[in-house]
Amino acid sequence: MYTSLSSAIAAAEQQNKPLSLIALEAESRDQGRAIAEIREVLHRALVVMRGAVEQGLVGDLKSASGLVGGDAAKVRVSTNGPFSGTPFASVLSRALAVQEVNAAMGVIVAAPTAGGAGVLPAVLTGLAAAKGLDDERLVDALATAGLIGAVVAERASLSGAEGGCQAETGAAAGMAAGAATEMLGGTPRQVGHAVALAQQGTLGLVCDPLGGLVELPCVVRNATGAAIAMAAIEMALAGVEFAIPADEVIDTMGEIGKSMDLRYRETAGGGLAATPTGRRLARERLVQIKKSGP
Amino acid sequence: MVSLLDIIGPVMVGPSSSHTAGACRLGLLARNLVGGTPERALVELHGSFARTGEGHGTDKAIAGGLMGFRPDDDRIRTALDIAEREGLAYRFEKEKLGEENEVHPNTVRITVERSDRSHVMLGSSLGAGRVIVSEIDGFPVEVHGNHHTIVLVAEDVKGSIARIAGILADDGINIATLRVTRKHKGGDAFMVIEVDDPPGEDVRDHIRALEWVRWTHRLDKVSS
């Protein structure tokens, strides 16, 4: 698998192929699996993603703590906002939907992680629905997203405990931005810029879950992550080029993550988790570990 | 090497890929050490696993894995209740398993017991559902669970690797990777062999029958 986006983009340009195919060919070589079989697995993931979007949009789920649930439905039906009824609002509601399902211990696809699982399905299914794109295009997009995520995993991190939320909703935003840019006709080079534009907007993002639960701010942070991805896609397809290459932005994310104080890295010891309200909600709602003797 | 399907996946019960899905996979790997659901399990959680694992269902996920549930199994939600019915006596403790810069923040030590067998595993959840087992019974290993894996402890005799490789070749099993470590020369040697196909009972019997093999386990693949 590629360990830099620049080498994947170079291969795509040299061979005149989209990044999705470059990704599938690398995976096929690495794992000894036929491309058709890999696409089949990705398609199954897509089905689960769609299921989570639909389940969450219904809006009747509550998380174990009761702190989250119902916001996806609110955004879906609202006519009050400046983007109500547009693909942008649809993407926001989809991101909230998947995360509300996740918080209720429903079944989702970690892409790349469960904490950031709302971003990619929201951006891809939301834009595909708006543009009338079929499943084959979505499967291609998932392959591209996988390639981007693999590079982030290799160069930086995909866990909040190591990289803060930069590594979860941040990485997901980079994946979504790059994959959707290609899905909507962008060149490999534009995909690189989309990833950089999204990732730069999430540098420094901490992991500060209230009470340690994957609920707040996680649910809404997937929506804001999706919004950053949408901004990156719009700019990249317009021809905006970010001065720092995506690989260097990803490396920076990793370096910032390593230097982050432990309290901002999924220990619920800092950030919003440590606010007076955050602490009060944690005390009121936290689940206790059940102990059973041998 | 990272796979696309590590990134787009796993399909899992939420809420956390490192503290739920990864934890479940570590439970599944530990289960292999006693050949089935353990009777007793001590789970010592370090760092982030300990601090935020409670709200992430880490305890349910590990208990589920110990009982053979995969990360997308609905039963994880009620795994602790099921464990009581299944006769799995579990204990979860918070324990510092090493210094911050030495040990991954999501590390767990799982001790499993069944009949007269007892084994201990040290593992970490690396994020996005990926895991690594870094120690089994004090021997350093590197098992990711992406392949069916055979682990064995043997006396450090000449030709042992060739004998083991021969047994696998006779059974038509292809070796993906093979690692040998030993605590000191002439002491026990520890082998970790990742294979492409699930090794059958007869393969394990052949390996177990070798007089210089002290114990051997099969760790089934946990990735999809």
Average pLDDT over residues A204-226: 93
Give all strands (DSSP E) within chain A, no chain letters.
107-109
- CB-nearest partner of B14 from A108, A153, A290: A108
Average pLDDT over residues A92-117: 95
Q: How far A91 CA lies from chain B's nearest CA (Å)?
A: 19
- Smallest Cα–Cα separation from A90: which of A118, A117, A63, A110? A118
Report B:78-137 residues touching A (Cβ under 8 A). 80, 83-84, 89-92, 100, 104-106, 125-130
- A199 versus B52: the higher-pLDDT residue is A199
CB contact under 8 A, A27 and B129: no
CB contact under 8 A, B9 and A290: no
Element (H, E) at B135: strand B130-136
**Residue B180 pLDDT greater than 90, yes or no:** no
Average pLDDT over residues A255-262: 93
Residues pairing with B142 in the sheet:
none
Question: Any idea where the domains of chain A sit in the sequence?
Answer: 5-284
Percent of chain B with pLDDT over 90: 51
Number of Cβ within a 10 Å radius of residue A60: 11
Average pLDDT over residues B194-201: 87
**Residue A139 pLDDT greater than 80, yes or no:** yes
Q: What is the mean pLDDT of chain A?
A: 93
CB contact under 8 A, A115 and B16: yes
Distance separating alpha carbons of residues A88 and A51, to the nearest angstrom: 20
Report B:34-73 residues touching A (Cβ under 8 A). 40, 42, 47-48, 51-57, 59, 72
Give the pLDDT score at B158: 84
CA of A185: how far to CAs of A26, A79, B9, B70, in Å?
Answer: 22, 30, 25, 38
- Smallest Cα–Cα separation from A208: which of A171, A168, A165, A243? A165
**Residue A288 pLDDT greater than 60, yes or no:** no
Give the pLDDT score at A286: 64
- Scanning chain B, the segments in alpha helix (DSSP H) are 4-7, 22-33, 47-52, 58-66, 79-86, 160-170, 201-209
**What is the identity of the amino acid at B66?**
L
Sorted by where each starts, the structural domains of chain B and their CATH numbers stand as 4-137 (3.30.1330.90), 148-219 (3.30.70.260)
A262 lies within 8 A of chain B by CB: yes
- Residues B151, B145 contacting (CB under 8 angstroms): no
- At A293, the pLDDT band (50, 70, 90 cuts) reads very low
- At the top level of CATH, the class of A5-284 is mainly alpha
Distance separating alpha carbons of residues A183 and A185, to the nearest angstrom: 6
Q: How far A143 CA lies from chain B's nearest CA (Å)?
A: 7
Residues of chain B with Cβ-Cβ distance to A24 below 8 Å are 4
Which DSSP state fits A70? S
Count CB pairs under 8 A between chains A and B.
197
- Smallest Cα–Cα separation from B220: which of B146, B115, B152? B146
Give the pLDDT score at A290: 32
CA of A223: how far to CAs of A91, A115, A218, in Å?
Answer: 8, 12, 9
| Strongest mean pLDDT among A158-167, A169-178, B6-15 | A169-178
Report A:105-164 residues touching B (Cβ under 8 A). 105-115, 117, 142-143, 145-147, 149-150, 153-154, 157-162
Element (H, E) at B117: strand B117-127
A69 lies within 8 A of chain B by CB: no
How far, rounded to the nearest angstrom, does the alpha carbon of residue B60 sit from its chain's CA centroid?
17
Q: What is the pLDDT of residues A39-75, one digit of tens each?
A: 999 999 999 999 999 999 998 888 878 889 999 999 9
Distance separating alpha carbons of residues B17 and A185, to the nearest angstrom: 31
Q: How far B215 CA lies from chain A's nearest CA (Å)?
A: 26
**Residue B55 pLDDT greater than 80, yes or no:** no
Give the pLDDT score at A289: 33
Give the pLDDT score at A52: 97
